[in-house]
Every structure is written in C-alpha cells, then in structure tokens.
Amino acid sequence: MKFSLLVVLLFVSVGLNANNWPSFGGQFRNQYSEEEGLRTDWGEEEPKTLWKLEVGLGYSSIIEVDGLAYTQGNSDGRNTLFCVQADSGKILWRHSYPCSKAPKYFDGGSRATPVVANEVLLLCSHEGDFYALDSKSGKILWTKNLVEDLNGKRPTWGYSGSPLVVGEKLIVETGSENGSLHCLNLKTGDLVWKSGESEAGYASPMLYGEAPSKVLVFNESGIVIHDLDSGKIQKKYQHKTRYGINASQPLIFGKKALISSAYGKGSALVDLTRKMPSAVWESESYSCQMASMVRKGKYSFGIHGQAGGRSDQSKLFCLDLESGKERWKEVGFGLGTVLLVRDTLVILSDRGELCLAQANQNKFTELARFQVLSGKNIWTPPTYVNGRMHCRNPKGQWVCLQMRKAI
C-alpha cells in the first residue's frame, strides 16, 4: 500500500503517463520504458528518419511530454533550449541565454537534461544558470544561478544532473558547503530547505523509499539519503573516486541501490536497510563511468569503461545482481549507453551505431544494428517514446527515428 502511494505521488507530481518521458532516464530515472510495439525484426530494412535538427554542442538527452520534445545545446556563446513538435521536428519556440561552451577534454556544451513537471520546464546549464519556464510557451516563470544565488560550487565538468520534482518541491544539487542539496518551491523558486555539505556529483537526485519518501543523491562522496520534507540527512554510504566523478545513475530496486563509477572504484550493490548502509558485494570489473545500467529481474546490463586511455577496454555486460558475477560480455560499443524497452536492450555506441538485442541473461543475441549518428564520444542515452527513438551526438545532431511496429 505504501509503495502504491509513492507511485501515485510520482505520477501526480510530474503528470506522468506511459506516453511521456519527462526527465533524464524516463519516468523513474532508470532508463526503462514499458512501451509496447518496438520493432526488432528489421532484416535488411532500416528505420525511417522522421526528422533531423542541429541544436548545438552538448550531452543533454531528449525528453518528450504531451507530444513536445525538448533538449538543449550550445553555440556562439549561448545555450539554447529547443521545444519542437515531436512528430514533425518543427521548432515551436527557443529559450536562449549567454553561456560559454566550457570544453574540458571533450566538445563542451550543455550537460544536464531538462525536466517537465506540472507544465513547468526546468532547465540548468553547466555553469549553473537555472530557469523555470512555462513548458507550452517558454515564458520565464523565475530564474536563479546556482553559484551566485545559492552559493553553489560548480563541479569540475559543470552541472550535469537534472532536478527532481515531487509535488510542489523541486530538488537540485548545488554543491554548496552550506546546503549541497536545495529544495525550492516549484512555482516560485523560494527556498523550502537546504541540507548537506558534499560537492555535487554528475548524477540526478532520485526518489527513494516508501511514503513518506526520501531523496537519494549520488554526489562526489557517494550515496546520501535525505528526508523529503525536512532535508535532514538520514543515511550515507561512501563511494569516492580519484576525481570525485560519480555520474552513472544509481539503480534503485527494493531497498538496495546498485552504483557504479570508474577510476578504479567499480560497482557496489548497497543494502540501504541498515543504519549504516553497507555493500552486499563490490567489484572493480564493472566500472560504468557515465552510462547508467538497466535492470531486468535479477540481472542488470551496462557498459564498463572509462574515457581516455582505457576506452578500448570497454564492454557491454550482463550481471547477476545477487552474486555480482558476470553472465556474459560483448565488445564493440565503446563507451556507449543502454536503454531497456520491455525485453529489448537498445544500445547506442559511442560512434553512433544503434543496436537492438535481447535482454537475456544467458547470452548476447543481436537483433538489429543501424548507423544513426556520425562522430565520436556519443555518450547521450537514446530516448524511446510514442514509437520515436531520439538520438543525439555531442556536436548537436538530433535524429528522430520511427521504430514502432506497423499496425
């Protein structure tokens, strides 16, 4: 009953339905879609390209809500949020503002994915510019800067996480020594509470636990669990890397969290029921630097690897969650990303190949493969909603494919 209340709370707060993808990672930030109808029997055919757009530099993924799709990019010293008609690619409106591209070991540009909740679009730049816009018109409702207004400390590679919305509460990481996590009023931007002192990570806050719910943050120090109503820290689990890079989204199931990082740290399945959370198992063999893992039953799938000198060691893997043991591995995707659509893995390689495979714990079985994007360092996960597969590269090429079975 409590879990049902939590699900209802989520659906009411962000206006979710099966045909929306309102935030990074989808409805529950787990890179999973329950949508039926994804075609897998392509043979020699390829998906129809519905439309293409150029949106500027960045790694912001695509969201789609009520037939409108959004993402952001950087060009000519400005960040721009695009709102487009999802079925045609027609640009309905833009929101643009000054922002440097901030390259650091890659192309630069926008990192964070927008969020739509209760017809409010929330947008954060890598520099900390934060906007609340009307999601239909683009009208500015309020704005802040996470550094200047909330005393935040910008992470080395820029703000990358998306805010979390629960009811009228908006949760955002600032990295401030005096309140690393801020809760604001969604409609006004006024402070509700602030808590914590850890530097910001690169993952997005998540809702955790039975009602009354909690907020789980994967910041530079590891897992921190806050009370949703007061912000009070309830539990911590340390998981630090050499550079404070915790970017892969945690997988929460039941009262456990699967986390993963690179730089010699690896993965851990963390039991959150204890007063002092502890690892059920740990392994350096599965180091997901940026791409989030997905879960199907007792198994998870992800991409092990690290940008730079170790990128040639990357692999797609299937993991037994109970034991932490590898079931199988497959190479050839680089530091790509993974999405789970019911029983099908959707893998976008870091060179722009889109691969469909069975989410099978016994062996890797490829179903189809297409070249959909050009370039390299393609680390933005695809989005699948309403039969449309949205993909983008860091140069700003946004491609929308029709991948639903014919009716």
Domain boundaries, the chain: 2-402
What pLDDT band is residue 7 in, cutting at 50, 70 and 90?
very low
pLDDT tens, residue by residue, 39-81: 999 999 999 999 999 999 999 999 999 999 999 999 999 999 9
Mean pLDDT of the region 278-284: 95
Residue 251 pLDDT greater than 50, yes or no: yes
The superfamily (CATH) of domain 2-402 is YVTN repeat-like/Quinoprotein amine dehydrogenase (2.130.10.10)
Q: What integer is the mean pLDDT of 234-240?
A: 95
Q: Which helix (H) or strand (E) holds 12?
A: helix 2-14
The pLDDT confidence band at residue 16, using thresholds 50, 70 and 90, is low
pLDDT at 306: 87
pLDDT for 5 beyond 80: no
Residues 6+ apart with CB under 8 A from 30: 249, 251, 252, 292, 294, 295
244 pLDDT band, cuts 50/70/90, is confident
Predicted pLDDT at 4: 41
Cα distance between residue 299 and residue 402, in whole Å: 29
**Segment holding 93, helix H or strand E:** strand 91-98
Tens of pLDDT, residues 361-400: 999 999 999 999 999 999 999 999 999 999 999 999 999 9
What gap in Å lies between CA 200 and CA 245, rounded to an integer?
A: 9
The predicted pLDDT at position 8 comes to: 40
The amino acid at residue 217 is: V
Residues 324-342 pLDDT 10s: 999 999 999 999 999 999 9
Q: What is the pLDDT of residue 2?
A: 42
Q: Is the pLDDT of residue 9 over 90?
A: no
Taking the C-alpha atoms of residue 400 and residue 48, their distance in angstroms, rounded to an integer, is 9
Q: Find the mean pLDDT for residues 312-323.
A: 92
55, 378 Cβ separation under 8 angstroms: no
170-201 per-position pLDDT tens digit: 999 999 999 999 999 999 999 999 999 999 99
Distance CA 352, CA 388 (A): 17
Q: What percent of the chain has pLDDT over 90?
A: 86
Q: Counting Cβ atoms within 10 Å, is residue 77 exposed (0-12), middle (13-18) or buried (19+)?
A: exposed
Q: What is the pLDDT of residue 210?
A: 77
- The pTM assigned to this predicted structure is 0.94
